[in-house]
Structure 1
Amino acid sequence: MTDHITIAIDAMGGENSPDKTIEGISHHLKNSDNSFYLIFGNEKLINPLIKKYKINSDKYKIIHTEKIIEDTDSALGAAKKGKDTSLWLAMESLKKGESDCVVSAGNTGALFVIAKLNLEMITNIDKPALSALWPNKNGMNVVLDLGANIECNEKNLIDFSVMGSALHKSLFEKEISKVALLNIGSEEIKGNTIIKNTYQALNDKKNNLFEFCGYIEGNHIMDGDVNVIVTDGFTGNIALKTAEGTANFITSELKKSMTSNFIGKFSSLLNIKNFKKFKNKLDPRLYNGAILLGLNKPVIKSHGSTDAIGFANSLKVSEKVIKGRLIDKIKENIN
């Protein structure tokens, strides 16, 4: 286990940065006493925030740059901006071994391209996958791919099973990783040829890292019977956005119904504890921090529109995957 970790932070990426990134660091420090932060960005904007949130000088180092990648930049355009943007410099520190991971809330396409330009893929993995946490009845799911690859073959999906299980083990060491393939039905005959061939390969060859549990349908993702859900990036991204939209709809409608009249307000006061528990279960900030798997070093993508609490959670995820030896676990289990 790593005792001391260094996190490279693209302080300028995403909405309301660098304010939310620096405040996010201050929140993370409350529960982490062994983290050091390399903060990449405009020190004229960052220094007042460091003072505002009272971050000790022995916990960070600012690497100044005034060049940033905008959310409106294309992936190729971002790469062409040069090697002195906050995101590129952060990624370069990871490449050189000066940091243990990179966290950015910036442009997703730019993050993918700059990560692949700087970092090598793990041997025998053809494609990276974007993975994130997703709540279920019993705890948490790891879901991948969430948009890095529109099309995948059987080998890609098998690799995703290994990478997703390694991530799950890194985050939840005492749990058994249970893998399922997202499909349109639970029967073996359902699905396209790629899904069927992947099912057969995973069913025939056991892996010490995980238990293969067959297919899962979209309406059972949150049941908690499995905890690693594998699919291609096209399907995964649609499933994620649908789940996020549904969660936002439920919480907003529930809040509206509980504050629209006197009876609603009175009942909400009586049930405020349960309502807060329910709201927290669906709060996307608490699951913030998607991981780009397949590269030889960990890269964490924070949601661009999240706040300081959400960004702090992405830092918490980065700390866990470093301490949980994520990259080593993938290397040990990829054939």
Structure 2
Amino acid sequence: MSDLTKIAVDAMGGDGSPKKIVDGIIYNHKLNKKNFFKIFGNKVNIEALIKGKINKDFYEIIHTDNVVKSTDSPLEAAKRGKDTSMWLAIESVKKKETDIVISAGNTGALLVIAKLNLKMIENIDKPALSALWPNKKGMSVVLDLGANIECNSKNLVDFSIMGASLYKSLYPNEKPNTALLNIGSEELKGNEIIKETFQILNEKKSDNFNFSGYIEGNELMDGNVNVIVSDGFTGNVALKTAEGTANFITDELKKVFKGTILGKLSAILNFSNLTKFKKRLDPRLYNGAIFIGLDSPVVKSHGGTDHIGFSNSLNVCTKIVNGNLIQKIRDNI
């Protein structure tokens, strides 16, 4: 069992936990027998859900009475104690008992508790929250998505290196194109920090990625850039805008195809294409934000996703560990 990827799971975070979390583990295990799950939470509840569904060689349950609440501020979560499922799951990575940690719980609490327990990778000043976004040609890595509201040029250069390392971990046969999210494609556009970062990356020769200059918001989904870099404020606004637009389009299409007899007939005739469209925009396929820059990877699953979305974020965990993300960042920084 030593060749298994050891994943620490906070089973008590997010909507519908621990059932959703355990169902996600069971679903993931059916598809992939290469993970070992160290599960933190209420042992009685978790055991009742998982017993007989997975061989005991593939999981261990660590009982915790205390949990971080969704309503806790990061400070309240840290003060809640070192016996919460979230804290103990992160601590298991710190102690090298597991390879990676995942939680669907309180995002702010997860970032703070992770920073309290884990060290920064040498020469990196700030960690970043990154995620996978769909584009016309596949997937993009986007960071930072809210961990750092203000960034200097060194931070953005570090994010470029970390984002490219993450992309290489997930897609080892590809060399990513990296760009800075900006209000225009011309060199003179943007604030002084963006322009300074542009100069540094333009002069920096990297075996890890190709620097593609600036990218504007309307080009994010084109697929010509694989790693998109910004400060946390801009990145978070871009993320919420993209999510909102996708939901708007999906809801409007539903109204069109359900509103009239002609619409319903069109829906029947286009059923195959509509199914493909729905699947392409399914947020569960892209579930799993990655907190990178610390000396162990931390994955945040969306609190509102279902068991399939959580299973997909477990796949991200496996790829990150097998792709040796942390060593890639160390090598390239």
What residue in structure 1 maps to residue 204 of structure 2?
205
Aligned mates of 1:319, 1:269 — CA distance in 2: 39
Provide the residue aligned with 1:56 in structure 2.
Answer: 55
Inter-partner Cα distance in structure 1 for 2:323 and 2:271 = 36
Deviation at 1:57, TM superposition (A): 1.8
Give yes or no for the alignment of 1:15 onto 2:15: yes
Deviation per residue, 1:129-155 (Å, 9 max, x gap): 000000100000100000000000000
Counterpart for residue 89 of structure 2: 90
Aligned to 1:36: 36
SS in 1 for 2:241: helix
Once the 2 structures are TM-superposed, how far is the Cα of residue 55 of structure 1 from its aligned partner?
A: 2.2
1:186-335 matched pairs, under 5 angstroms: 186-334=185-333
Residues 275-324 of structure 1: CA deviation (Å, up to 9, x unaligned): 11111111111100000010001100001111111111110000000000
SS at match of 2:61: strand
**Bigger CA drift: 2-11 or 16-25?**
2-11
The CA distance in 2 between the partners of 1:100 and 1:271, in whole Å, is: 45
Q: Match for 1:137: what amino acid?
A: K
Distance 1:104 1:112 in 2: 11
Q: How many residues align?
A: 332
Q: Tell me by how many angstroms 1:175 deviates.
A: 1.7
Code of the aligned partner of 2:185 = S
User: How do residues 25-174 of structure 1 correspond to structure 2 at under 5 angstroms?
Assistant: 25-51=25-51, 54-174=53-173
Distance, in Å, in 1 between the alignment partners of 2:103 and 2:197 is: 33
Cα offset, 1:231, TM superposition? 0.1
2:175 aligned partner, one-letter code = I
**Aligned letter for 2:149?**
I
SS of residue paired to 1:30:
helix
Identity of aligned residues (%): 65
Distance 1:321 1:223 in 2: 25
Tell me the secondary structure at the aligned position of residue 31 of structure 2: coil
* CA deviation profile, 1:223-279 (whole Å, cap 9, x unmatched): 011110000000000100010011011111112211222221222122112111111
Offset, 1:3? 3.8
Tell me which amino acid in the other structure corresponds to 1:190. K
Per the normalisation by structure 1, the TM-score is 0.97
- Whole-Å separation in 1 of the counterparts to 2:231 and 2:332: 21
CA distance in 1, matches of 2:161, 2:173: 17
Separation of aligned partners in 1, 2:257 and 2:54: 39
Give the Cα separation in 2 of the matches to 1:173 and 1:277.
Answer: 27
What is the letter of the counterpart of residue 27 of structure 1? Y
Q: CA RMSD for the aligned pairs? A: 1.0
Deviation at 1:106, TM superposition (A): 0.3
Distance in 2 (alpha carbons) for counterparts of 1:256 and 1:307: 24
Amino acid at match of 2:36: F
Secondary structure at the residue paired with 2:32? Answer: coil
* CA-CA distance at 1:56 after TM superposition: 2.1
Residue type at the aligned position of 1:43: K
| TM-score, normalisation: structure 2 | 0.98
Which amino acid in structure 1 is aligned with residue 101 of structure 2? V
- The residue type paired with residue 227 of structure 1 is N
Q: Distance between the aligned counterparts of 2:44 and 2:157, measured in 1? A: 47
The secondary structure found in structure 2 opposite 1:39 is strand
